[in-house]
């Protein structure tokens, strides 16, 4: 019998994690595990998880950390033998820009959603009307009927009113999803919120048992596990290490190669043939770890449910990183960064483009350097593509002006770096989970598994988990085939 073959399309962290899980039954290449080949269009592995040298430090060009109270990345680091490289977040709290001033975020927020009206007493940027809405939810909550899914915006607007929803909740959820709460699915993005809304009563009281998702000192929780962590060589070092270990296991990794077609071959020894410009690779099972639109384009001809993946919206984002002398900037006394509500007005043209600021050297000890500040400004949302029309120099100039307003003092920068991620963040619109369920059923019937950010959540732990899930599904398909 010919050795089983699996082709993974996409060498982002999901595709690499799938290969790691699938090859874990043996420490090296042999007949126990299938032949595994990963094909990646980019010239590097890891997708958006990549590092670079900037101002004498190694920084991430994508996500700079991950939620470490989810186990997936920490477990993978242990398996790779790099657990000693994990570094806990070194600061707590954050700020939000309201009514022309910085306001410290209260404790206990769950994805920006309040769990206590009293915690907002010190937030000066909120109106008296917004405070009344919060107190009302605590004592006389509005009724809301939701079905199997609803937008996050519909739920929080009904319960808390517009001001809290758009000035507090959207900046945090939107910062993670690069989307708008009126479009994002509660079922897919924030299932605890949907369940709380279904149960009726106070939304705040219902969410108090849910872990906060804004950094806070460890002693405020029962566990000493840090909320967020990174790797000392950058999160981008994780896929590089993973790829090296996969090659030692005999996994073939091809970068700079685009898949042009996936063809069914029911009469051959293998049901799939995967074409590139100069090769054809046979496979028993294919794992698609590409963006949803790419998966839909390559597999849409085989099933309408897979073609529907082409319609998953994608948001673009950009980041501008600055390194500067400490005496050239005024920062709030503590905290990991600043959130900026969409539509925030200022003295310049239009609303502000900056949606958040991250104090990188406060978050991560290995980036701290005496006398210097390292911070990052984030721009771009699902309905704000203004950054795409600006050159790098124009974007730096615009962001610099806005930071001068947000921070009060933002002097001459020593160095700056622009990183763009066009059409990179899938939007989980209302009904997204049903779309994914249909696509997965169709894929499974064709001996295809789906992995990546479009299916199991945004963020590195979710992506690692998505890849390992796809590998387990693949193993089950191979087991069924050989019986």
What 8-state DSSP symbol labels residue 470?
H
Tokens 């989980």 correspond to: 428
In this structure, the dihedral spanned by the alpha carbons of residues 351, 354, 356 and 358, taken in order and rounded to 10 degrees, is -150
Residues in CB range of 349: below 8 A, 6 or more apart: none
Distance CA 89, CA 97 (A): 23
Helix (H, G, I), strand (E, B) or coil at 229: strand
**98 Cβ contact partners less than 8 Å away, ≥ 6 residues apart:** 123, 124, 125, 126, 167, 341
> What is the per-residue pLDDT for 437?
97
Question: What are the structure tokens assigned to 345, written together?
Answer: 């007005």
SS3 96: strand
Look at the chain and count its residues: 483
Kindly report the pTM of this predicted structure.
0.93
With a CB cutoff of 8 Å and minimum separation 6, the contacts of 377 are: 319, 320, 321, 322, 354, 356, 357, 399, 402, 403
Q: How far apart are alpha carbons 393 and 406 in whole angstroms?
A: 20
Q: What is the distance between the alpha carbons of residues 12 and 40, in angstroms, rounded to a whole number?
A: 8
Query: How far is the C-alpha of 330 from the C-alpha of 177, rounded, in Å?
Result: 29
Residue 329 tokens read as: 């900037």
Q: Going by DSSP bridges, is the β-strand pair 337-339/354-359 parallel, antiparallel, or unpaired? A: antiparallel
CB 118 within 8 Å of CB 204: no
Q: Give the three-state DSSP class for 210.
A: coil
Alpha-carbon span 120 to 128, nearest angstrom: 11
Backbone angles phi, psi at 262, to 5 degrees: -120, 115
pLDDT truncated to tens, each residue of the chain (483 aa)?
Answer: 578 999 999 999 999 999 999 998 765 555 678 999 999 999 999 999 999 999 999 999 999 999 998 999 999 999 999 999 999 999 989 999 999 999 999 988 888 899 999 989 888 999 999 999 999 998 999 888 888 999 999 999 999 999 999 998 999 998 888 999 999 999 999 999 999 999 888 999 999 877 655 544 444 444 567 889 999 999 999 999 999 999 999 999 999 999 999 999 877 789 999 999 999 999 999 999 999 999 999 999 999 999 999 999 999 999 999 999 999 999 999 999 999 999 999 988 999 999 999 999 999 999 999 999 999 999 999 999 999 999 999 999 999 999 999 999 898 877 999 999 999 999 999 999 999 999 999 999 999 999 999 999 999 999 999 999 999 999 999 987 654
Which of 301, 238, 259, 300 is CA-nearest to residue 37?
259
| Domains of the chain, CATH where assigned | 5-48+234-312+429-482 (3.50.50.60), 65-69+84-92+314-426 (3.90.660.20), 106-213 (1.10.3110.10)
């Amino acid at each position: 019998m010919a050795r089983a073959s699996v082709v993974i399309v996409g060498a982002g962290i999901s595709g690499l994690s799938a290969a790691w899980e699938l090859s874990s039954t043996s420490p090296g290449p042999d007949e126990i595990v299938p032949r595994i080949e990963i094909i990646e269009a980019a010239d590097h592995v890891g997708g958006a998880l990549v590092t670079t040298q900037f101002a004498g430090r190694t920084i991430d060009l994508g996500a700079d950390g991950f939620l470490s109270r989810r186990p997936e990345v920490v477990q993978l680091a242990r398996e790779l033998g790099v657990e000693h490289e994990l570094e806990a977040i070194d600061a707590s709290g954050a700020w939000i820009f309201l009514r022309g001033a910085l306001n410290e975020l209260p404790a206990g927020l769950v994805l920006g959603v309040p769990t206590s009206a009293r915690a907002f007493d010190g937030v000066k940027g909120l109106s008296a009307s917004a405070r009344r809405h919060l107190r009302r939810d605590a004592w006389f909550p509005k009724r809301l009927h939701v079905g199997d899914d609803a937008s996050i915006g519909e739920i929080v607007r009904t319960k808390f009113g517009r001001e809290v929803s758009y000035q507090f909740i959207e900046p945090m959820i939107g910062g993670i999803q690069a989307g708008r709460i009126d479009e994002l699915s509660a079922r897919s993005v924030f299932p605890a919120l949907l369940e709380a809304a279904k149960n009726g009563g106070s939304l705040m009281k219902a969410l108090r048992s849910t872990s906060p998702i804004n950094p806070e000192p460890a002693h405020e929780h029962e566990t000493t596990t840090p909320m967020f962590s990174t790797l000392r060589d950058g999160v981008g070092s994780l896929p590089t290490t993973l790829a090296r270990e996969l090659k030692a296991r005999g996994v073939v990794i091809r970068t700079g190669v685009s898949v042009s077609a996936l063809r069914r071959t029911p009469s051959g020894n293998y049901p799939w043939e995967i074409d590139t410009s100069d090769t054809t690779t046979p496979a028993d099972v294919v794992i698609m770890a590409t963006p949803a639109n790419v998966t839909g384009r390559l597999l849409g001809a085989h099933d309408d449910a897979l073609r529907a993946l082409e319609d998953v919206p994608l948001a673009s984002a950009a980041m501008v990183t600055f390194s500067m002398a400490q005496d050239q900037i005024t920062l709030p006394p503590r905290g990991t960064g600043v959130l900026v509500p969409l539509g925030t007005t200022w003295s310049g043209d239009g609303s502000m483009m900056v949606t958040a600021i991250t104090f990188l050297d406060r978050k991560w000890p290995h980036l701290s350097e005496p006398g210097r500040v390292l911070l990052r400004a984030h721009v771009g949302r699902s309905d704000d593509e203004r950054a795409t029309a600006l050159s790098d120099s124009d974007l730096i100039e615009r962001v610099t002006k806005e930071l001068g307003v947000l921070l009060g003092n933002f002097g001459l920068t020593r160095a700056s770096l622009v990183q763009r991620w066009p059409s990179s963040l899938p939007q989980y619109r209302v009904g997204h989970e049903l779309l994914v369920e249909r696509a997965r059923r169709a894929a499974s019937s064709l001996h295809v598994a789906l992995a990546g950010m479009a299916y199991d959540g945004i963020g590195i732990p979710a992506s690692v988990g998505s890849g390992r899930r796809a590998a387990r599904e693949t193993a089950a398909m191979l087991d069924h085939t050989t019986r």
